[in-house]
Structure 1
Amino acid sequence: MTAPVLEVAGVSKSYGRVRAVTDVSFEVQPGEILGVVGDNGAGKSTLMNMVSGAVAPDTGELRIGGAALSPHTIGHARAQGVEMIYQDLGLSDNLSIVENVFLGREWTAGPRGLPVLRKRAMRSRTREVLETLGIDLHDMDVLVEGLSGGQRQMVAIARALVTENAPRVMVMDEPTAALGTTESQGVNDLIVRLRDRGYAVVVISHRIPEVLDLADRLLVMKGGRRVYHGPTETLDVERCVQLIVQGDRA
């Protein structure tokens, strides 16, 4: 086993009297898919928001490539190689594929105070990333509003990969929730390709059979606590549902 790229050690988070996450630990290796499952309110989103830097834990520590995530901010997590793709994707329908991929991260040239967008370079880089991942989107100038749900997900993934610091950990929140069977398979195939290229991928999902087939390991949450963290091959759908519903009593 190689050294974990992401280590979460005993993190807890409360909002007033509500304990959202309690003493959760797990790790993810490079080239590994970790599935995260649990009922609504199980603490999945809060836990992943801590990984992405959006939320600071009350106690515990997160380490990325052996370095502590401190200060605990999205910018610092991104600088250390963590990218999170939220369920709503955060795309702008009235912008093109290239404009969405580089939204807020545009490449510019020219004198200070008078920047010029490097449109050709951004288009070339977008095409390079998409082709590397086996994504077939020929027209880089098409508006995102004209894309299917699966294509939108692929644009969001491409955006995560053109950051200044190449990501090492990619967290995806319900990447196939709004997709049909064919498009879901396309996105899952892309996730596998990311894993095979050495990325650590964390997938939050409510589709139990799908995530069991996709992930190398599984993290099951119940009431803000970890109730299982181990290989998927030791689980089936029935056992996984038992853990989600009954927790430690399963």
Structure 2
Amino acid sequence: MTKPLLEAYDLTKSFDSVRALGGVTLTIPEGEVTALVGDNGAGKSTLVRCLTGVQSPDTGRILFRGEQVRLRTPEDARKLGIETVYQDLALIDDLAVWQNLFLNRELVHPFGLVNRRAMIAESATILRDLDIDVPSVRTTVRRMSGGQRQSIAIARAVAWGKAMVIMDEPTAALGVRETAAVEKLVRGLRDRGITVLIISHDLAQVMRICDNVVVLRRGRSVATHRIDEVDGDRLVALITGAAPGNLEPAEERAS
């Protein structure tokens, strides 16, 4: 069994009278790609915010490499090596690739000046190691294709997230060719031993590139499977409630 990198137990989160999470339990194995799936309103975004320190759960526990942790801010998650690539990518169009990679984390000389040469060289190394094809690290992001922009955002997360990278719908706005390039990059991260959590509505993609899948429904975790245990039809049934999950209480599975 692959040891878990991150675990969550019975996480709950409410906003006034709205219960966004009603008891989520999941395990993310180290060095594997895990998918988080569910319909709109299932609680995926709230769960990710709890796992990355953007919001604190009302109740429940989060463990990292077996030790309980309190993620009060995104910086707490970053210190553990957890980085997130959001749908908006958080790239600045008018800055070069190397500037985006080191945004707010600039390398400086001992006497305080920005070490531009070191950042350019290290950026080239990062992209080369990840097999990311861009014209030059000196090119502005505005001139990049959608797939290249997504790859740059992932590269930045990998450069700083040494333990786990969380991706929110990484290929939602991409074409077939660019989607294939991003999926290749995700497989490369797994080959390097980096844990990946992907939030996705694309079940075919989940079946192609993931090792595990966790299903949320109405703010609760209802099923977790190795990807070779399920197919697309089974996932749809779990997401919609047409089939009971293996994490639901026995009385709910029997109903």
Q: TM-score, normalised by structure 1?
A: 0.94
CA spacing shift, 1:30–1:154, aligned 2, 3 Å: same
Q: How many residues align?
A: 245
Q: 2:156 aligns with which of 147, 156, 159?
A: 159
Q: Distance in 2 between matches of 1:211 and 1:249?
A: 20
Q: Distance in 2 between matches of 1:216 and 1:44?
A: 18
- Residue 35 in structure 1 maps to residue 35 in structure 2: yes
CA spacing shift, 1:50–1:17, aligned 2, 3 Å: same
Contact 1:69 1:77 in 2 (8 A): no
Residue correspondence of structure 1 range 84-123 to structure 2 within 5 A: 84-111=84-111, 115-123=112-120
Residue correspondence of structure 1 range 237-248 to structure 2 within 5 A: 237-246=232-241
Query: 235-244 vs 183-192, which deviates more?
Result: 235-244
Q: 1:204 aligns with which of 175, 195, 199?
A: 199
* 1:44 alignment partner AA: K
CA deviations over 1:113-165 (Å, ceiling 9, x no partner): xx2111111111111111111112241111101101110111111111332xx
Q: Which runs of 5+ in 2 are unaligned?
A: 246-255
- Residue 144 in structure 1 maps to residue 141 in structure 2: yes
Contact 1:33 1:215 in 2 (8 A): yes
* 1:223 alignment partner AA: R
Q: What stretches of structure 1 move > 4 A for 4+ residues in a row?
A: 247-250
Aligned-residue RMSD, C-alpha: 1.4
Q: Distance in 2 between matches of 1:23 and 1:233?
A: 26
* 1:72 alignment partner AA: R
Contact 2:32 2:195 in 1 (8 A): yes
Query: 23-32 vs 81-90, which deviates more?
Result: 23-32
- Residue 74 in structure 1 maps to residue 82 in structure 2: no
The alignment partner of 2:4 has SS state of coil
- Residue 234 in structure 1 maps to residue 249 in structure 2: no
CA spacing shift, 1:155–1:174, aligned 2, 3 Å: same
Contact 2:93 2:141 in 1 (8 A): yes
CA deviations over 1:217-250 (Å, ceiling 9, x no partner): 1011110111111111121111111111116647
Q: Which residue of 2 aligns with 1:215?
A: 210
Report deviation, 1:42: 0.5
Q: Distance in 2 between matches of 1:29 and 1:220?
A: 16
Q: Which residue of 1 aligns with 2:181?
A: 186
Q: Which residue of 2 aligns with 1:125?
A: 122
* 1:144 alignment partner AA: V
Query: 232-241 vs 65-74, which deviates more?
Result: 65-74
